[in-house]
Amino acid sequence: VVYLVIFHLSFFMFVWSYWKTIFTSPASPSNEFCLSEADKEQYEKEERPESQQEILRRAAKDLPIYTTTASRAIRYCNRCQLIKPDRCHHCSACDICVLKMDHHCPWVNNCVGFSNYKFFLLFLMYSLLYCLFVAATVLQYFIKFWTNELPDTHAKFHVLFLFFVAAMFFISILSLFSYHCWLVGKNRSTIETFHAPTFRNGPDKNGFSLGCSKNLREVFGDEKKYWLIPIFTSLGDGCNFPTRLVIMDPEQLTVPSQNEPAKSSVANQSFPPRPLSESQNRLLASDCQWVESGPEEENVKTGAKKHIIVSLES
């Protein structure tokens, strides 16, 4: 009876997670990331990339964007005609921009991203348990097959086939599931593993990592009782994410007088300059420190930059 309960429960959760992964539509950027009609028309008329970037910078001034392209340009999708939020990428298969895109999975015929990444992880976990259960159940008959204790019937070939299929799927899914568990712990997507996101201080593959426990909460939510159930509990809106290092624009800093300590200028700054969602504020609320780096060697009047870095302890 116990075996039957475990079998039906694992199979039900496997099917439920698989269903949610397939039929959950990929989340796309909100309308605030779309250019206005005037900016869009002006952008299309401009032929110089510098002028186009100036239009994008003006439009992205108040958007929660901290990453750029490798050439320090605003990330813009010409296909969808919108400014890409952080961690957003265009999927050529779905022909849309997907928030926190991880990859396009042919096994589910859908993009795996912000809206269904938790479902995808649960699908891997429950399929792993299902294959393990099948292999463990058939193992005794598989041993009898090799010791010639199994009756000479056609069923022994079925047992042999079932055991090898379950074992092979278990090994392959285990490697994939382990890899994605590592990604969750590091708060990276598959795309970010190969191409580190570029912040204003340069590429940083750990730029979105807040520590293992907070990274886990960002995907599975605050309430642990819902972690193993395929319902959406991820934190945030998918358009903006708390970052490990956030660098403020030098134009938004006030230059302190020579006799005034540099730290006094920090206390009056509203930080970060772009809005964070309520869930992000919860992730950033605990154990955060304000750390100020020293001024650069160049004179402040010549346009030298001062950086304010938020250091988040794991």
| Concatenated DSSP letters of 261-291 | -THHHHHT--SSSS---HHHHHHHHSSEEEE
Residue written as token pair 């997507």: 189
pTM (2 decimals)? 0.77
Output phi, psi for 186, to 5 deg.
-95, -5
Overall residue count recorded for the chain in this entry: 314
Two tokens at 17? Answer: 């997670």
Residue 195: which pLDDT band, with cuts at 50, 70 and 90? very high
With 60 as the cut, is the pLDDT of residue 125 above it? yes
How far is the C-alpha of 132 from the C-alpha of 171, rounded, in Å?
Answer: 10
Q: What is the mean pLDDT of residues 279-298?
A: 43
Give the distance, in angstroms, between the CA of residue 115 and the centroid of all CA atoms in the same chain. 10
Q: Residue 173 to residues 14, 176, 179: CA-CA distances in angstroms?
A: 13, 5, 10
With 90 as the cut, is the pLDDT of residue 214 above it? yes
Residue 73: which pLDDT band, with cuts at 50, 70 and 90? very high
Residue 3: which pLDDT band, with cuts at 50, 70 and 90? confident
How far is the C-alpha of 108 from the C-alpha of 19, rounded, in Å?
Answer: 9
- Closest Cα to residue 66, out of 75, 58, 56, 78? 75
Residues serving a catalytic function are 105
Q: Residue 81 to residues 31, 44, 84, 299, 301: CA-CA distances in angstroms?
A: 11, 10, 9, 40, 38
Two tokens at 301? Answer: 């009047």
Two tokens at 183? Answer: 């990604």
With 90 as the cut, is the pLDDT of residue 264 above it? no
Q: What is the mean pLDDT of residues 154-166?
A: 81
Contact 159, 168 (CB under 8 A): no
What is the structure's pLDDT at 193? 94
Q: What 3-state DSSP class applies to 100? A: coil
Which residues are CB-contacts of 284 (< 8 A; sequence separation ≥ 6)? 210, 242, 276, 310, 312
Two tokens at 240? Answer: 């903006």
Q: What 3-state DSSP class applies to 239? A: coil
β-pairing, 103-105 vs 110-112, is antiparallel
With 60 as the cut, is the pLDDT of residue 243 above it? yes
Average pLDDT value over all residues in the chain: 79
Contact 126, 173 (CB under 8 A): no
- 149, amino acid identity: E
What is the structure's pLDDT at 32? 92
CB atoms within 10 A of CB 274: 15
How does 294-311 read in b/e, with b if 16+ C-beta sit within 10 Å? eeeeeeeeeeebbbbebe
Least confident of 52-66, 135-149, 166-180, 204-218: 135-149
How far is the C-alpha of 161 from the C-alpha of 39, rounded, in Å?
Answer: 61
With 80 as the cut, is the pLDDT of residue 37 above it? yes
